Structure 1
C-alpha cells in the first residue's frame, strides 16, 4: 500500500472528506488530493502533521508497520491493555465504557485514548486531592 493510499484510508476511517481534512491540516484540498494520489510526497514536517491529525504514526504512513494505532503507553499493541480492561470491568467504572466490548475497533481506540488521557491527568493524585 502506498503512502497516498494510507493517507486516504486514515482520512476515510475518521469519516472526513478531503475538504474537511485539508482544512484541519491547514492545506488546500488540491494539495491533499496530490498527496493521496502519490503525485506529491510530503516533507517530514507535513508527514508528522498527517500522523498527528490522522491519529497514527509516521511509520504506518510510510509502510514500516501495518498497525495504524499510535502506541502512547509503551504497551505491545491493540488488545493488550490489561489495566484498561480491569478498569472497564469494574461495575463502578464500566457504565461509562459500557459499549466498549461491542464497539468497532476504531471506537475502542478512541475509548482507550480517552482513558489514557484521564489516567495521565490523575497521575500522582491522592484520595481527597482536588482534581486538576
Structure 2
C-alpha cells in the first residue's frame, strides 16, 4: 500500500521522482525502489515523507486516515453505556469550543 500511496501523492503534486527525491534529500533510486515496492522506508524516512505531503503515517501505510475519535480518549471507556460515551464526547467538544472562545476574547 505504501508504494501506491507514494505514487498517488507524488503525482498529485505533479512531481517527478527526481523532483521529489531532491525535495526530500533522497536519491531518485530510493524513491523508485519505494514506488516499485522493492524497499520499505524506515520509521524516520516515513515521517519525513508524511510531513512533506502533510498526511499521517497511517495514511501512507494504509491509505486510510485514522478515525479522529480513536485518539480522543486516553482512558478506559469499557463498561460505559453508549449514552454516557456520547455525553463525554459532547463535553469534550464543549471544552474545545470554550477554549477557542477564550482565545478570541
* Cα distance per residue 1:71-115 (max 9 Å; x no partner): 8xx9xxxxxxxxxxxxxxxxxxxxxxxxxxxxxxxxxxxxxxxxx
* TM-score, normalised by the number of residues in structure 2: 0.60
What corresponds to 2:21 in structure 1?
Answer: 22
What corresponds to 2:64 in structure 1?
Answer: 66
| Aligned-residue offset at 1:125 | 6.8
Higher helix share: 2
What corresponds to 2:49 in structure 1?
Answer: 50
Output the CA distance in 2 between the equivalents of 1:13 and 1:66: 17
Unaligned runs of 5+ in 1: 75-122, 127-132
1:30-109 correspondence to structure 2 within 5 Å: 30-63=29-62, 65-67=63-65
Output the CA distance in 2 between the equivalents of 1:33 and 1:12: 13
Instruction: Give the structure, 1 or 2, with the largest relative contact order (CA under 8 Å, sep 6 or more).
Output: 2
- State the structure with more CA Rg: 2
* Cα distance per residue 1:47-82 (max 9 Å; x no partner): 00110111211001110x524xxx8xx9xxxxxxxx
Runs of 4+ in 1 over 2 A off after TM superposition: 123-126
Secondary structure at the aligned position of 2:26 is classed as: coil
Output the CA distance in 1 between the equivalents of 2:20 and 2:103: 37
Output the CA distance in 2 between the equivalents of 1:6 and 1:51: 11
Output the CA distance in 1 between the equivalents of 2:59 and 2:9: 10
Give the number of equivalent residue pairs: 71
Secondary structure at the aligned position of 2:49 is classed as: helix
| Aligned-residue offset at 1:37 | 0.7
